[in-house]
Amino acid sequence: MLGASVERIMGLLGNESRVLDVGGGARPFRRADVVLDLMPYESRGELGAEGPGAERFTADTWVQHDICAREPWPFGDKEFDFAICSQTLEDVRDPIWVCSELVRVAKAGYIETPSRLEEQSFGIQGPWVGWGHHHWLVETEDDRVRFIFKHHVVHGRASAYFPVGFGDRLSDAERVNAFFWKDGFSYEERMFFDDSLDGYLDSFVSSELARRGLSRPAPARASLPRRAIDLVGGRIRR
């Protein structure tokens, strides 16, 4: 989690504040009173922990649950003063459902996801674009969170991603969407049914490179199979 966000969250919470951490099993927020995660309590902290102090949650307040199960989470409406969902929504199959439950069970909260700057950068994790296990590109603006399916075309068209080394230039703040909300927020999935997906991906990359005074290196020629199916446009290219 972004360090500045941890500091801001701690400043918002009083000792009596009820805090929920959603999907934080691998790196739980120590100040959380309750953790909701697919994995058991015993597996917590594989990637460390967030926030100062000792763990406030316990084995008794660790709720093992599939957050995308389309079943209401086992909490009452507005039961929590604050809910954290950090580096989780980009991973799950149904972020829309998760957002709806966040709004239901909490009065306010914080969502963090990788930014498009990071998720559309080649070489962040390996010889592909962004993180291999992420399902979604995520945008945040004002009081809205928007999800765009991370289509495989992003890996095959050089104009759709930032070149090798771009990700290394990003600051910690540029790598994430840090989204604070209070009294609810809007959430939606944006879908593409034609070639407009290409423009959506390409225009973001080209405008960001231009804004930073960077140019794209010439792409290396790649050998393609004799027949390639363009799933976005529904065409067969020979």
Q: Label residues 98-124 b or e (16+ Cβ within 10 Å = b).
A: bbebbbbbbbbbbbbbbbbbbbbbbbb
| Percent share of the chain, pLDDT over 70 | 91
- pLDDT tens digits, 177-215: 999 999 999 999 999 988 899 999 999 999 999 999 998
Query: Averaged over 147-155, what is the pLDDT?
Result: 96
Look up the pTM and report it.
0.90
- Mapping DSSP onto H, E and C, the string for the chain reads CCHHHHHHHHHHCCCCCCEEEECCCCCCECCCCEEEECCCHHHCCCCCCECCCCCCCCHHHEEECCCCCCCCCCCCCCCECEEEEECCCCCCCCHHHHHHHHHHHECEEEEEEECHHHHCEECCCCCCECCCCCCEEEEEECCEEEEEECCCHHHHCHHHCECCCCHHHCCCCCCEEEEEEECCCEEEEECCCCCHHHHHHHHHHHHHHHHCCCCCCCCCCCCCCCCEEECCCCEEEC
Reported as a pLDDT band with limits 50, 70 and 90, residue 219 is low
Per-residue pLDDT, 218: 58
For 67-89, the pLDDT digits (tens) are: 999 999 999 999 999 999 999 99
Tokens of 231: 């799933």
Sign of torsion, CA 131 134 140 146? Answer: positive
Q: How many CB atoms lie within 10 A of CB 37?
A: 22
* Integer Cα distance of 107 and 112 in angstroms: 17
Mean pLDDT of 1-14: 98
Q: Which residues pair with residue 217 across a beta bridge?
A: none
Q: What is the mean pLDDT of residues 30-39?
A: 98
Q: pLDDT-based confidence at 217, cuts 50/70/90?
A: low
User: Distance between CA 166 and CA 17 in Å, rounded?
Assistant: 40
Q: What is the mean pLDDT of residues 18-37?
A: 98
Span 166-178, pLDDT tens digits:
999 999 999 999 9
- Judge contact between 137 and 95, C-beta under 8 A: no
Is the confidence at residue 26, as pLDDT, over 60? yes
Residue 220 has pLDDT above 60, yes or no: no
Average model confidence (pLDDT) for the chain?
Answer: 92
